[in-house]
A = this chain, B = another copy of it.
């Protein structure tokens, strides 16, 4: 991350995931590729059921539990598929086909989550919000639903919850792919949390599921055995071969977060980075952000320029100055700067300075 190119200017990677990683974590990965923890074998060669990999998996879980202050009643699963696959598995694991699941739709990803779940159970969209999460008072919730699903950060739209709904009797389920581990979290408010790893927790190919154990019922009706959460919990995520290197890297990322002072310290850094960019957006009436002020994402800053042509020029000139991967999600367009934990404050400052220059040019 933040590599120096052959010229003197630093390069910053604002990609939405796979995203920038700390150079210390990359160095740990490199070392483990030839000799993992003194085994003389590569992390890529270790049997997943042996004691060496088991130690790696256990340590990663312990770091996660420590960072999130995870209660004993929650189980941690290290799975594959990406959050998009778990749009289906959440429904299959928590709802019977005749059950109703509630979805709050706030953008691209919650809409996709609801659409995929609707293939496996009855889905009711209880509220929609375009530029902010709809206030809980207008959610049309019903007792007896299997769960209520939110997407705490809309990666494509740049919208984020800065409050949490009341848990109530219906378990709250959240896709936190973009903001898990970017700020302190009251996990107790949730029945289940899931997240792709390639944003704040390392690399593509790993999906984390954190689930309150009373929600795990066997057998799971529809999902393949390896995506039966109860079965994976019983087997410590080893029903089949887990993505061992992605789990190693998650462990390295979690230790890095601990060294950085934990979630309170990371949240403060992330808030500062976002403030720098929103400051640049709000100056001069040139850039625009479609998200309401209190609901802007601190991890995916999305904004527009006056015309698509100017956006294309902005992206090309930014890339020429080492400000990389700033294009918005293809379904949304515009500009998106992703500011996950590993992205340093200097990156946000460099981008804000470029935005000011571009605006005046």
Contacts and interface: CB of A to CB of B under 8 A. Distances in A.
Number of copies: 2
A19 interface: yes
Contacts of A30: 30, 33-34
Given A84-B240, A85-B227, A45 B1 contact: yes
Contact of A196 (B16, B206, B222, B241): B241
A244 interface: yes
The 4 residue pairs across chains A and B that have the minimum distance between CB atoms = A205-B243, A88-B224, A84-B240, A80-B80
A242 to B, nearest CB: 7
18 contacts: A1-B41, A13-B41, A13-B45, A17-B241, A20-B45, A26-B33, A26-B44, A30-B30, A44-B249, A80-B80, A80-B81, A80-B82, A83-B240, A85-B227, A203-B244, A203-B245, A205-B205, A243-B246
Contact of A49 (B1, B41, B241, B330): B330
A104 to B, nearest CB: 21
B241 A204 contact: yes
Interface in A177-207: 196, 198, 202-206
Nearest to A47: B15
Contact of A82 (B41, B226, B249): B226
A314 interface: no
A305 interface: no
Given A226-B84, A240-B84, A3 B40 contact: yes
A324 B48 CA distance: 14
B18 A48 contact: yes
A82 B5 contact: no
A278 interface: no
A27 to B, nearest CB: 8
A35 interface: yes
A303 interface: no
B222 A222 contact: yes
A224 B84 contact: yes
Contacts of A75: none
Nearest to A6: B40
A25 B239 CA distance: 28
A344 interface: no
A354 to B, nearest CB: 18
